Amino acid sequence: MEKLALAGKTAIVTGAAGTLGLAAVRALLEDGAQVALVDADALRLDNLVRFLRGSTVAVACDVGDPAAVRDAHQKVEKALGAVDVLVNNAALGSLDKVEAAADPEWRRVLATNLDGAFHWARAVIPSMRKRGWGRIVNVTSLGAWSGSPAAGIAYATSRGALQALTAALAGEVAASGITVNAVAPACVKTPELSEELNEAQRRQLLARIPLGRFCEPEEFAHSVRFLASPLAGFITGHVLAVDGGLGLA
């Protein structure tokens, strides 16, 4: 029987109740990890874990609140043990351009999309250092470089800052056997793609993608799965674009 790449490992996926987060959860479970699903939507989390195969726990948490993250981390360790893999996927979208961006919206998006990744990384790194092994995968976006019809100023800024955080963390923890990378997906088939863009915008976007189609959630999840695996042990500080060649346009 083929050995599962993450057998015996514990993973956390934030934003686990969304399309991308759930796809990442399933991919990690398939590789043998036990997975903590973290999301602010407690009811949806509880419903999801009932239908997942593998060892899971649901933990409700506002990732932008450092106290809530500390509490959620303790719950995960009590239920599943020390964390080996962290996938910082929690995110809020925002369409507001600079002149329309109100202070509360700016702070709300940055708190979730950037601060949350920092809070969780700070929580799990000490135990990863002790064991000399860890994987942190931050989920950013092509919007960090180019913006998009669905990327307002706060969203694009948060994604660019998350890439900077990825590089800074990678340099700090590499000597401890911890890798820190990011995945930058674009045009993934999610409800948001349908809700935030009208049909004309979707056709216009599709025409710009060299591969001529949108990304399946499972394709995004496979990139997370790879960067979390032992096979990616010599890759750190990297941002992997999963965009169908859109970044070439």
- Mean pLDDT in residue range 168-195: 92
**What pLDDT score was predicted for residue 27?**
98
The correct CATH number of 10-240 out of 3.40.50.720, 3.20.20.70, 3.90.1150.10, 3.40.50.740 is: 3.40.50.720
Per-residue buried b or exposed e for 3-33, using 16+ beta carbons within 10 Å of the residue's own CB: eebbeebbbbbbbbbbbbbbbbbbbbbebeb
pTM: 0.94
**What pLDDT score was predicted for residue 246?**
84
Question: Which of helix, strand or coil describes residue 28?
Answer: helix
Q: How many CB atoms lie within 10 A of CB 50?
A: 8
- Mean pLDDT in residue range 76-81: 98
**What pLDDT score was predicted for residue 3?**
74
| pLDDT digit string, tens, across residues 201-213 | 888 888 989 999 9
Active centre residues (catalytic): 155
Using 50, 70 and 90 to split pLDDT, how confident is the model at 198? confident
Question: Which of helix, strand or coil describes residue 86?
Answer: strand
- Mean pLDDT in residue range 121-127: 98
Answer yes or no: is pLDDT of 173 > 90: yes
What is the residue-averaged pLDDT of the chain? 93
Q: How many angstroms from the chain centroid is the CA of residue 150?
A: 18
Q: Which two three-digit tokens encode residue 209?
A: 């993608």
Residues with Cβ within 8 Å of 240's Cβ and at least 6 positions away in sequence, in order, are: 181, 182, 183, 184, 223, 227
